[in-house]
Chain A
């Protein structure tokens, strides 16, 4: 599978693991104010084990057609000509991926670690109305 990303893609971290929003932010120009930053607390991965939430990365809100796409920091803009090679989510995790809007996994050539690839619309659906037990700003569990 290849996700078209002719322009810039935003490479960022989402609660520890990195994530990509390959299409929603295409050609976004941060200088024009299309990306604004908010300070939010993000659920760190360790929190699910019961420990208190720790410091989290800055969270960026991307505004798109009146909706907000939320991604985490730190941020990096990359040019990925030819599209983004995305590998499928293992069927074992399909339900998790569907809920969070994750459409695949991507491993950059620079050995910087694996990335989760988000569908921005699906991610927005989750972020705007997360299931009660998966509220991103609360300790949640399946």
Chain B
């Protein structure tokens, strides 16, 4: 399901440009998102994670990817997408999990994997346009704009904003 632009607030969209954009299109929590191809190191399956104490809820753990340990974060939590409640039916959980992937993103010296429900495509979405009014707050923070894909819209994320904005680098 594509995010309906009319549902969302005044997004920044200040990175929206006329150049065509190509990257991964993926689904998280029933919404479609994208990220530039050159901001993705690799897409891998979700493996067992090392739990890390005292980290924010969006940090799921670390996973070995390409020989090194990488932080894995929940994009769903970062973006404030509601998670299924305990009363929700488990919809073919194994099947869903089997489609889940980790996209390892990079931005400068930062790398982190985001968990996505499924990868839809590697596609060109044309020029990004500013996020429409009503864009959910956290989405607007990390979005570069909105692109068209098939018959819907894709919210295009900035890996740099996402990683810089959520990394645990500041001293307490």
Contact = CB atoms under 8 A, between A and B. Distances in A.
Contacts of A142: 54-56, 168, 172
A45 B168 contact: no
5 tightest A-B contacts by CB? A96-B168, A114-B50, A95-B168, A131-B172, A92-B71
Interface residues of B, number: 27
B140 interface: no
Given A87-B68, A114-B62, A94 B169 contact: yes
Contacts of B54: 15, 43, 48, 96, 99-100, 134, 136, 140, 142
Given A91-B109, A96-B54, A105 B62 contact: yes
Interface of A: 14-17, 43, 45, 48-49, 87-96, 98-100, 105, 107, 113-114, 116, 131, 133-134, 136, 140-142
A140 to B, nearest CB: 7
B19 interface: no
Contacts of B111: 90-92
Interface in B23-74: 50-57, 59, 62, 64, 68-71, 73
Given A96-B168, A133-B172, 12 more contacts: A16-B51, A17-B52, A48-B56, A92-B70, A92-B73, A92-B111, A94-B169, A95-B169, A99-B54, A107-B64, A114-B62, A142-B168
Contact of A93 (B57, B168, B171): B168
Given A90-B69, A90-B70, A91-B167, A96 B55 contact: yes
A41 to B, nearest CB: 14
A134 B163 contact: no
Contacts, number: 93
A134 to B, nearest CB: 6
A96 to B, nearest CB: 4
B112 A98 contact: no
Given A90-B70, A114-B62, A43 B169 contact: no
Nearest to A133: B172
Interface string B83-112: 000000000000000000000000001111
Of B54, B55, B170, chain A has the most CB atoms within 10 Å of the CB of B54
A89 B112 CA distance: 12
A52 B110 CA distance: 34
9 contacts: A16-B51, A48-B57, A49-B57, A92-B111, A93-B55, A94-B169, A96-B54, A99-B54, A133-B172
Nearest to A72: B53
Contacts of B73: 92
A93 B50 contact: no
Given A91-B111, A93-B62, A93-B168, A116 B71 contact: no
Interface string B145-172: 0000000000000000001000111111
B69 to A, nearest CB: 5
